[in-house]
């Protein structure tokens, strides 16, 4: 009698597992003939890649006579990187930060040396950090030292939770560093004054944009240039973009996730997908989507849209690379935590 109850218990367990397996089986159905690539990207690139995928599909059909289907996924850059590490089998990643892509390398999914695999440190398009202010710039905010004045309300995402926000922090630091002749203490005071003015510290860049644009919080939003342009396009006449005298070259990185691309047999297409981002047509498409094309000739075609006079520092020369910046500023107990602790 006891045994029969035990066996029925096991039967119940097996039944349930069987149901789960059946569902899993349905999910991993694979179509033959055409090739399929998954591109895991971050939030604001949605519109860009929707258009780019069409361009690439046509190109690949022309070149190889092969149909290619591209699946897109968007979300916070760090979250997306974690997704890939935890088993979201992307063929390519196009993320906001070199650091996020490098975490995937550390997990063993991307081959070492990926930064040099494509031109310009695998950053086909760049952006920078600008100020989005309300129409007419009522508080007359022109540069970084204007926004740290008492009473100015700043909206920026949290550098701890948002990769994009780390560029904001670093741009402000670079400005202060020039102004204060490299005095670290003064830089910390500068950043402390800046963050004392921050009234809402959203967890991601899109959240900050909503807070500033839709909920009317703050005098100035520290934003990626492409996000600022998008907000301006959606609310014509409500906002102005102010480019500070100095900012940072934000380089979103792209890479083939070698382990998964090899597993799927999509290596060739995945590489071509990223390489084609540097073609003239694709560069123009990126410019039209408010990213700065990395090809200087094509960038010049957009000189009316972008302020090309801004001095841009880059993370390697200014901060000794992404890892060093991460450890110095954003790790637990590092400078960002310190400036909040001092208040």
Partner 1 sequence: MSGLKTPSGRLKRDVIPGFGLSMGVTLTMLSLIVLIPLASVPLVLKDYSLSEFWRVVTDRQTIATYKVSFSCAAAAAVINVFFGVLLAWVLTRYKFPGRRILDGLIELPFALPTAVAGVALTTLYSERGWIGYLFSKIGVKISYTTTGITIAMIFIGIPFVVRSIQPVLENLDPQYEEAAATLGASRARIFTSVVVPEILPAALTGFALAFARAIGEYGSVVFIAGNIPYRTQITPLMIMNKLEQFNYPAAASIALVMIVFSFLVLFGVNILQSKISEISRGS
Residues that bind partner 1 (CB under 8 A): 1-2, 4-13, 15-17, 20, 76, 78-79, 81-82, 103, 158, 160-163, 198-203, 207, 210-211, 214-217, 326, 330-332, 337, 340-341, 343
Task: State which residue, 95 or 269, has the beta carbon closest to partner 1.
Answer: 95
How far is it, in rounded angstroms, from Cα 265 to Cα 126? 30
Nearest to 167 by CA among 177, 178, 156, 176: 156
Closest approach of partner 1 to the CB of residue 53, in Å? 26
| d(C-alpha 283, C-alpha 93), whole Å | 18
Q: Closer CB to partner 1, residue 36 or residue 161?
A: 161
Smallest separation, CB 339 to partner 1 (Å):
10
Cβ proximity to partner 1: between 202 and 258 the closer is 202
In terms of CB distance, is 86 or 317 closer to partner 1?
Answer: 86
Shortest spacing between CB 204 and partner 1, in angstroms: 9
Q: Rounded to the nearest whole angstrom, what is the least distance from the CB of residue 323 to partner 1 in the complex? A: 12
For the bound state, the minimum distance from the C-beta of residue 78 to partner 1, rounded and expressed in Å, comes to 4
The residue (of 36 and 326) whose beta carbon lies closer to partner 1 is 326
Task: Supply the DSSP string of 30-48, one letter for each residue.
Answer: ---SSEEEEEEE-GGGHHH
Pick between residue 48 and residue 213 the one whose CB is nearest to partner 1.
Answer: 213
Closest C-alpha among 13, 15, 90 to residue 259:
90
Closest CA to 160 of 202, 219, 109, 98: 202
- Say how many Å lie between the first and final Cα of the chain, rounded: 70
Which two tokens mark 307?
């302020």
CB of 307 to partner 1, least distance (A): 30
93 burial level (CB within 10 Å; 0-12, 13-18, 19+): buried
User: Closer CB to partner 1, residue 20 or residue 26?
Assistant: 20
Task: State which residue, 48 or 104, has the beta carbon closest to partner 1.
Answer: 104
DSSP string spanning 290-331? TPEESSHHHHHHTTTTS-TTSEEE-HHHHHSSHHHHIIIIIS
- Closest approach, Cβ 340 to partner 1, in A, equals 4
Q: How far is the CB of 40 from partner 1 (least distance, A)?
A: 16
Single out the residue of 74, 30, 32 nearest to residue 206, CA to CA.
74
Angle (CA) 158-163-167 rounded to 5° is 85
CA–CA dist 136, 155 (Å, integer): 18
Strand order in the sheet with 253-256: 68-73, 35-41, 92-95, 253-256
């Amino acid at each position: 009698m006891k045994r029969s109850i035990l066996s029925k218990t096991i039967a119940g367990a097996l039944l349930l597992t069987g149901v789960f397996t059946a569902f899993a089986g349905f999910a991993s159905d694979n179509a033959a003939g055409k090739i399929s690539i998954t591109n895991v990207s971050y939030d604001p690139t949605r519109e860009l890649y929707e258009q780019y995928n069409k361009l690439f599909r046509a190109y690949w059909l022309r070149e190889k006579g092969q149909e290619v289907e591209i699946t897109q996924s968007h979300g916070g850059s760090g979250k997306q990187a974690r997704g890939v590490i935890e088993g979201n089998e992307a063929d390519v990643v196009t993320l906001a930060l070199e650091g996020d892509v490098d975490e995937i390398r550390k997990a063993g999914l991307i081959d070492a040396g990926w930064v040099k695999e494509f031109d310009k440190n695998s950053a086909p398009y760049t952006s920078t950090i600008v100020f989005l202010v309300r129409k007419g710039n009522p508080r007359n905010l022109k540069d970084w030292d204007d926004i740290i004045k008492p009473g100015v309300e700043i909206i920026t995402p949290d550098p701890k939770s948002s990769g994009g926000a780390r560029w904001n922090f670093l741009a402000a630091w670079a400005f202060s560093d020039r102004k204060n002749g490299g005095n670290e203490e003064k830089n910390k005071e500068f950043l402390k004054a800046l963050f004392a003015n921050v009234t809402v510290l959203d967890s991601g860049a899109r959240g900050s944009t909503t807070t500033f644009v839709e909920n009317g919080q703050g005098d100035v939003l520290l934003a990626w240039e492409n996000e600022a342009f998008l907000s301006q396009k959606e609310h014509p006449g409500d906002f102005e973009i102010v480019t500070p005298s100095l900012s940072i070259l934000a380089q979103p990185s792209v890479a083939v996730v070698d382990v998964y691309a090899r597993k799927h047999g999509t290596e060739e297409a995945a590489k071509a997908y990223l390489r084609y981002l540097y073609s003239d047509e694709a560069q123009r498409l990126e410019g039209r989507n408010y990213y700065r094309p990395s090809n200087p000739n094509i960038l010049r075609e957009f000189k009316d849209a972008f302020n090309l006079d801004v001095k841009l520092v880059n993370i390697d020369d200014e901060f000794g690379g992404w890892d060093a910046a991460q450890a110095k500023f954003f790790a637990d107990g590092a400078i960002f935590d310190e400036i909040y602790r001092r208040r």
